Structure 1
């Protein structure tokens, strides 16, 4: 299948070339015109074709001690052919750095456009201060990698690939990780175990059959991928399918950001950005089993403080974060940095389908997700944060959170299910220095289900100089060591359901009562909600808690309770809110409480699951 796809790409390219263009086909291997890849590249540089030349690398000899240099060239480097005349790609050619000096296997510089296919690049061993163990790209242009494997390489930065867009602001370098590409078992002494992208560069990983796994950033950031501003990453691949899909980012390790780390650059306005989405409606973008020794098991964002400092932003929808591990922020860690003049500067992470289904750029992105092939995910695993663990490197449970929001940082979790995570808290908002904080830390949960989590402390906890907003959420079936919500800052609770038995719903220790707003809330424990308005005491009557169905029975006290909200407004199932059930008297409006809106058609208890599953008017 990979050979077919690679051959097809060659045919498509050839068709696009004008008939008068001169394209050269150079052959490397035992008995071929060129004995070494570098010799073929030098010949191509001396007599370049237009628009690009093909260099075919036969697998009839070994290629060790490789130090391949590509400079100001447009070339296809294709391996996987048997000999000097074969053009049928049936395997891979191994390019190894073994036996050579401490350098990258391949270095691409200047303004180059390079296509790699049918290759395995391995055993690159750049120094602890060097960049790009397997591939080092520094310059402008384009690098596309398909039907290839980057494995067992090492460098100080960018163990597998270091990609540095070294041009001006208007001259961006592009890295494409295409179909049937594996980036595995690479290591960085410091940061960027699998891929490190920096400078004026962008990356896209949107094809199926891509796997970024078992890479390690031993001393720093981004086990799988590190993005350093002003670089931008667009990630939407469903991963790699054997019998079933394996997560795109799987089993990577780092100190910070086991799966993905996005950090601001060191100069002014060097914003780092990653857009997360899915390109397969039935298989969401998936981060699974990634480990951070310190913080940010799945994803980590870190800004740059100071005047003109850069932001670090991660914007995602239709994403699954599962089974990731860290001491703090096992799924998400939004970090801060302090500057004596400007105070704390925080990163931002936004997760939820509303962020990426628009036709306009999302969260500050330059292009709409649809331009990268983003589609609306229909899988039950879309928009899911589940099974993440707060543990130390020894595998012992520690009092960490699934989601951690540092000073002045922001995390939005929208239309997402947060299930079966273990730690001290599901979400924690921190204010390290209230006297120097310019803006509060922000944590928002909306139209989400929080269920089945096991926490030793409060489910959601927030310091002073923070703002927590929980709207149209259902919180039920969690094992909680203390209270459901504990806040010392600004707190808004709107249109929610809390079904946690007699567990204390709220501990509010903020000094200013004006900072607490509770309006339209159904809870099984209401003594702690005396300051609230429209608080209802009772059982919400879910369809089937045992099977995880937290939709509302026709008899639920949460139906037609709150005022309607204008505009297109959808529940966790993607159905319209504010549906007026004629058989239920309205309290103050037609909005249901919690994550799920009861729809117009009455089905009766026996048919509720059926009705919740299918569309109807």
Structure 2
């Protein structure tokens, strides 16, 4: 609470009950008459405890609207106060350059007839809006399922700032849960935030707007389109970077995809989305359009990146905000089922995705990584480092490099995947396809190449067969001996085989790469093949470390060091 603010109490008890005004509209008018900062304390002292049929406007006010008070004598909130609309217009419209804080409120049953105007809260201005313990639910965008259902936030006339503190829930809205656009900055770093069960996507960010999302927990859940999408529009000329970072930011159960980034050529300047510490789980996806009912190429993959200006940096170094800290967190993709014919991660139309330190397991898909599938040939790029792909059920292959794409996999471990897939690696007219310093422990044929193989390069790969490889490819035929967490045992093939060429200095778990196991001759260098570096200097110490020599578990918590 602001100690210098004028406090306006709202309730029906009148002056004897310490209530300044019986209506919210009256409270806002008093705030206009007393230029802020002002605080409006909203009580439950109203018929049925709900403020019904509200259509409220704020124009360039510095005001806090705080619900949850039992009556006008209450010193602090004890819950939330419900404010409902008239099902014909937005519940709360905010304009201008003020500083607005909403706390301890439920905002419901608003309606918008415009694509970019939210039914619950409709903001357009150059100030700031902060939400804390606020639920925006069951609002409607009456014209556009792809529009803003719950909250719209537009930066107009200057930069506007939207912040989610703790306990912000945008749920069950018809349309996207929230849309942020214009010259706007979203910061979401509170605890217990959710955008779920919205008829469109949970959250849409449209350029030039950007977002820093550091919330943890199951944030993007059960939305009917995507959990989160970033769209880059014409007229945007700046190079833009948004960030997702957390000890565990969760996507789950969204119907048509988890994360979508689209930056077509008609914009200008790159749109980069940086991701670390995120998990994607429990999706069963469809590619059926929610309105037409026909299959749609935009749907059905867990992560989709399209357009020549789109960049996804997953687990790689970006200019994260200070709140992200310095600790690296990997990505996890598990227990997801793709639409028939769709890969887990799809990159196309000249987009670029870089994925580092991802653990991908127990998913069902046609492929794990794919470029240009079902799209025109392009120079799309997909580069995967220090990642683990295991126990997935696949229909076609693990990696697809199609139609002029540039694809590489370095320090990748592929093992224990099942399904009907007929080969592990597929290149069809790829501009470049390199698999280097990796383990491919699959019985299926290693590689199939169609069209030119001039850009196909397999170097220092441990695999049980070399089917499809050329005479110049370096394939070590055999099988790895895995210990815990898919680290190699010290006597396994692949230990101290990989090159020491400059590159990433740490493995999947953040442990150092340059660990030279004594007693094991170096082949091309001192590093191990695959995603995990054995953290033993002398293999004779393995039994002294307390690990069972016959152990083969790949489950459990990620270790600080694999010993």
TM-score (norm 1): 0.81
The 3-state SS of whatever aligns with 1:425 is: coil
2:535/2:561 contact within 8 Å kept: no
Residue 235 (structure 2) aligns with: 267
Task: Give how far 1:304 is off.
Answer: 3.1
Task: Give how far 1:458 is off.
Answer: 1.7
1:518/1:531 contact within 8 Å kept: no
Q: Are 2:464 and 1:540 aligned?
A: no
Residue 181 (structure 1) aligns with: 168
Distance 1:533 1:377 in 2: 34
Distance 1:271 1:574 in 2: 30
Which of 587, 604, 608 is residue 523 of structure 2 equivalent to?
587
Which of 401, 404, 407 is residue 462 of structure 1 equivalent to?
401
Distance 2:199 2:380 in 1: 30
Distance 2:124 2:361 in 1: 42
1:288/1:323 contact within 8 Å kept: yes
Q: Are 2:267 and 1:301 aligned?
A: no
Distance 1:149 1:204 in 2: 17
Residue 291 (structure 2) aligns with: none
The 3-state SS of whatever aligns with 1:42 is: helix
Distance 2:536 2:305 in 1: 40
- Relative to 1, partners in 2 of residues 1:616 and 1:152: Cα closer, same or farther, differing over 3 Å? closer
Distance 1:517 1:276 in 2: 33
Task: Give how far 1:543 is off.
Answer: 1.4
The Cα offsets for residues 480-522 of structure 1, whole Å up to 9 and x where unpaired, read as 5121010121111110101002x11111224152x12221111
Distance 1:236 1:252 in 2: 20
Q: Are 2:37 and 1:59 aligned?
A: no
Task: Give how far 1:33 is off.
Answer: 2.0
1:532-611 matched pairs, under 5 angstroms: 532-543=472-483, 549-566=485-502, 569-601=505-537, 602=539, 603-604=541-542, 606-607=547-548
Which of 245, 255, 265 is residue 277 of structure 1 equivalent to?
245
Which of 437, 448, 465 is residue 495 of structure 1 equivalent to?
437
Residue 473 (structure 1) aligns with: 412
The Cα offsets for residues 314-333 of structure 1, whole Å up to 9 and x where unpaired, read as 21011111122243552100
Task: Give how far 1:23 is off.
Answer: 2.3
Distance 1:130 1:493 in 2: 45
Which of 128, 153, 157 is residue 163 of structure 1 equivalent to?
153
Structure 1: gaps (5+ residues): 1-9, 15-21, 218-222, 240-246, 337-344, 356-361, 363-367, 392-397
The 3-state SS of whatever aligns with 2:368 is: strand
Structure 2: gaps (5+ residues): 14-18, 288-298
Residue 361 (structure 2) aligns with: 419
Distance 1:45 1:572 in 2: 57
Task: Give how far 1:300 is off.
Answer: 0.5
Task: Give how far 1:556 is off.
Answer: 0.8
- Relative to 1, partners in 2 of residues 1:474 and 1:181: Cα closer, same or farther, differing over 3 Å? same
Residue 237 (structure 1) aligns with: 215
Residue 16 (structure 2) aligns with: none
Residue 29 (structure 1) aligns with: 11
Distance 1:524 1:537 in 2: 5
Task: Give how far 1:377 is off.
Answer: 5.9
Give the root-mean-square deviation of aligned CA atoms: 2.2
Residue 314 (structure 1) aligns with: 273
The Cα offsets for residues 524-553 of structure 1, whole Å up to 9 and x where unpaired, read as 111322334432111111116xxxx31111
Residue 341 (structure 1) aligns with: none
Residue 27 (structure 2) aligns with: 40
2:509/2:559 contact within 8 Å kept: no
Distance 1:446 1:510 in 2: 26
The Cα offsets for residues 355-414 of structure 1, whole Å up to 9 and x where unpaired, read as 3xxxxxx2xxxxx42423446367xxx5111122123xxxxxx11110111120112221
Distance 1:127 1:377 in 2: 43
How many residues are paired up? 525
The Cα offsets for residues 77-127 of structure 1, whole Å up to 9 and x where unpaired, read as 001111122222101111100xx2611100110101101111111111222
